């Protein structure tokens, strides 16, 4: 199969452009093949490279010596060594010539691991067996020639601009690594409270148990590389917070309307704990569901269904707000406005439940949504379908305006069903044959909301595999990537499918391939996983793969320039260095009093000069005017600085400031701020 078919591109500007793209694409293809080979041993290719270097040398090496011999000479050698230290595969040993310095040596555990991998690694050359020996020789010559040419071009450009020139190996490695792990990427999990799917694990848990469960959940997702949670706080006209309009949720305390005892505000607690870990908190609400299961759900005496029974309709065994009722639209908007006004949420989030699934328009009793009275009152000559869509349009617009009136920086996101419309129904639809669509069955015209700018992001729930006969993942991914209309698009991925009896989802590569595919689209900026509890058992090693491969480096949440594009001032930094244990503490603060910050991005490098857009973030530190940030492992090969740290301020809208170097050595304590 040619490159054109592989990336679905009909034509290239030139053969040179095609060759350049082909090299990048092949690099990523080879990297994935090699990475998958190491997943069974809980090790990455870079970690393997270091272990092989240490075993082959047969004596301790400094981190500088290791970096000089690595295939990937990016400035993260120390971080990789730290991970190997935690796994017990290497250890530190004093330098034989200078006891103040520390070298690295492979352990017996590391040698045993390599012995297990050796037979498989020796077979890795089989990846290239479709090339003859002569073809491989020709390819090597061409690649050598390309690198020499690229080096010359970089040298001329660097000389003209009077800037330091990175090595070719650093440039190539950085480009590939950044492509595999984007600097900006939204990574989240849905935390469903309805029916106690994710949190809390059951009704009526003691308050302390609720708190412990939630903090453990956050810690798990933080370890897996996520940077946000989407938490359901209003599942059925109820609340996981003290609301002036709706009662406490039965899924929290066991009885609707019963407050937690001892009393606390779960929403405030969850927001604070998420922000403490540098994670965004998106408050997930269901706009129309009022009583999930008639006769079984707990319904408080002051529930809105008892106060205004005329606002509700029954469909199957559930009570819904009637979306066509003008008072309902105002009430739902009022509830959302209150949440945004009182709580420090980063976004307000709706899922796919607008008009209910399974409606058959005009299908008779029990099949169609029973809203004829409201339609007669407000229909205004529209078809019922158009009228229903206009009802949902109205409440989305009202809520969008309310959110921005309260807090312009608060985002509004919606997670619809995967299929807007099929191409057979609309020329602009997706190449699918779905039996349900957002537009025709749920009366949710997502495309319109994106075009009009009423929402800031969309998360289509593409819970299908690549080979699904009616709704293949690839076709849906491609459609949404081309229909986000300048707003952000994250893909909803169904990690829960690992527990269903579907053969395609028992393929361990299914989810990793979906992540790889979405990263090929510049207009797709991340993923959200349904749902949180599916991470507990690490199905098919997917969570481990996130932690050690796809999300092994922190990512900043993509900024939304239509909300705010103002760069914060460079942060103020004060360094205190401890000579005895080789650590430093950085005290980070705002560069200007009026800056609104989420936190700080920390970059670590073995090089004194870096481009922060071409290296990975070492850590993200939430803004805290009191706490300091501890830097580890700063002693090393030389008597001067051995690691270089840089810090940037990250605004509330995730816009990054210019970097500030954290200047220190074994012998100095300094403060630093770049000039404006």
Tens of pLDDT, residues 587-611: 889 999 999 999 999 998 877 777 8
Q: Are the C-beta atoms of residues 556 and 443 closer than 8 Å to each other? A: no
pLDDT of residue 160: 35
Q: Which of 568, 574, 578 is nearest to 598 (CA)?
A: 568
- pLDDT value at position 80? 80
Instruction: Give pLDDT, residue 36.
Output: 67
DSSP 8-state class, residue 239: B
Interatomic CA distance for residues 405 and 396, integer angstroms:
14
Q: Is the pLDDT of residue 668 over 90?
A: no
Whether residue 108 has pLDDT greater than 80: yes
Mean pLDDT, residues 435-461 taken together: 98
Q: CA–CA separation, 218 vs 532, rounded Å?
A: 10
Decide if 339 contacts 348 (C-beta within 8 A): yes
The three-class DSSP label of residue 579 is: coil
| 211 and 268 Cβ atoms separated by less than 8 Å | no
Predicted local distance difference test score (pLDDT) of residue 364: 59
pLDDT at residue 637, rounded to an integer? 39
Mean pLDDT of 35-56: 82
Least trusted range by pLDDT, from 243-247, 411-415, 500-504, 634-638? 634-638
CA distances for 92 relative to 77, 80, 523, angstroms: 14, 14, 44
How far, in Å, CA of 675 to CA of 671, rounded?
13
Q: Is 625 exposed, middle or buried (0-12, 13-18, 19+ CB in 10 A)?
A: exposed
Whether the per-residue pLDDT at 582 is higher than 90: the answer is no
Mean of all residue pLDDT scores within the chain: 86
| Predicted local confidence at residue 121, as pLDDT | 64
Give the pLDDT of residue 164: 34
Q: Is the pLDDT of residue 449 over 70?
A: yes
**Percentage with pLDDT > 90 across the chain:** 63
Backbone angles phi, psi at 573, to 5 degrees: -135, 135
Number of CB atoms found within 10 A of residue 634's CB? 22
Name the band, by pLDDT with cuts 50, 70 and 90, for residue 516.
very high
Amino acid 10: pLDDT: 60
């Amino acid at each position: 199969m040619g490159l054109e078919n592989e990336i679905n591109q009909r034509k290239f500007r030139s053969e040179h452009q095609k060759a350049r793209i082909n090299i990048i694409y092949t690099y990523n293809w080879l990297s994935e093949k090699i990475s998958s080979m190491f997943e069974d041993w809980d090790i990455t290719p870079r970690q393997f490279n270091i272990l092989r270097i240490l075993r082959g040398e047969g004596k301790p090496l400094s981190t500088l010596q290791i970096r000089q011999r690595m295939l990937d000479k990016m400035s993260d050698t120390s971080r990789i060594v730290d991970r190997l230290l935690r796994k017990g595969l290497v250890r530190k040993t004093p330098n034989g010539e200078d006891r103040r310095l520390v070298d690295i040596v492979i352990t017996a555990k590391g040698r045993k691991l390599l012995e297990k991998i050796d037979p498989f690694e020796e077979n890795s050359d089989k990846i290239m067996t479709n090339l003859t020996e002569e073809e491989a020789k020709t390819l090597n010559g061409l690649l050598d020639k390309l690198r020499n040419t690229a080096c010359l071009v970089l040298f001329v450009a660097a000389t003209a601009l009077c800037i330091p020139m990175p090595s070719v190996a650093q440039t190539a490695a950085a480009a590939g690594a950044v492509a595999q792990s984007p600097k900006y990427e939204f990574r989240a999990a849905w935390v469903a409270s309805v029916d106690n799917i994710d949190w809390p694990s059951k009704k009526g848990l003691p308050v302390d148990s609720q708190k412990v469960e939630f903090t453990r959940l956050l810690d798990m997702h933080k370890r897996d590389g996520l940077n946000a949670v989407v938490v359901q706080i209003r599942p059925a006209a109820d609340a996981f917070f003290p609301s002036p309009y709706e009662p406490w949720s039965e899924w929290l305390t066991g009885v609707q309307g019963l407050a937690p005892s001892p009393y606390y505000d779960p929403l405030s607690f969850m927001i604070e704990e998420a922000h403490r870990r540098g994670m965004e908190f998106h408050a997930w609400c269901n706009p129309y569901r009022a009583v999930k299961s008639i006769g079984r759900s707990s319904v408080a005496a002051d529930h809105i269904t008892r106060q205004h029974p005329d606002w509700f309709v029954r469909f199957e065994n559930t009570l819904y707000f009637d979306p066509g009722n003008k008072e309902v639209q105002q009430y739902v908007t009022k509830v959302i406005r209150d949440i945004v006004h009182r709580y420090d949420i980063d976004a307000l989030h709706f899922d796919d439940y607008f008009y209910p699934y399974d409606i058959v328009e005009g299908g008779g009793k029990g099949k169609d949504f029973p809203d004829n009275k409201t339609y007669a009152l407000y229909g205004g000559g529209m078809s019922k379908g158009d009228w229903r869509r206009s009802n949902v349009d109205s409440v989305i617009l009202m809520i969008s305006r309310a959110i921005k009136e309260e807090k312009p920086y608060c985002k509004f996101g919606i997670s619809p069903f995967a299929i807007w419309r099929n191409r057979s129904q609309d020329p602009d639809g997706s190449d699918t044959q779905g039996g349900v669509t957002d537009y025709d069955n749920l009366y949710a015209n997502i495309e319109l909301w994106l075009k009009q700018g009423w929402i800031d992001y969309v998360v289509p729930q593409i819970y299908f595999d690549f080979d699904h006969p009616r709704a293949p993942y690839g076709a849906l991914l491609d459609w949404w990537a081309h229909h986000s209309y300048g707003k952000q698009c994250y893909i909803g991925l169904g990690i829960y499918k690992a527990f269903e009896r579907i053969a395609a989802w028992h393929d361990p590569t299914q989810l990793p391939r979906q992540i790889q595919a979405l990263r090929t689209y510049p207009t797709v900026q991340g993923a959200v996983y349904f749902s949180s509890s599916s991470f507990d058992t690490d199905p098919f090693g997917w969570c481990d793969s996130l932690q050690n491969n796809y999300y092994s480096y922190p990512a900043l949440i993509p900024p939304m320039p239509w909300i705010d594009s103002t760069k914060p001032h460079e942060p103020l930094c004060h360094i205190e260095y401890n000579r005895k244990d080789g650590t430093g503490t950085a005290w980070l603060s705002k560069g200007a009093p009026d800056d609104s910050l989420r936190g700080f991005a920390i970059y670590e490098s073995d090089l004194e000069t870096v481009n922060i857009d071409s290296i990975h973030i070492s850590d993200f530190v939430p803004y805290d005017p009191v706490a300091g940030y501890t830097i580890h492992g700063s002693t090393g090969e030389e008597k001067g600085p051995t690691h270089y740290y840089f810090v940037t301020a990250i605004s509330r809208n995730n816009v990054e400031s210019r970097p500030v170097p954290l200047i220190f050595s074994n012998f100095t304590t300094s403060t630093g701020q770049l000039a404006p």
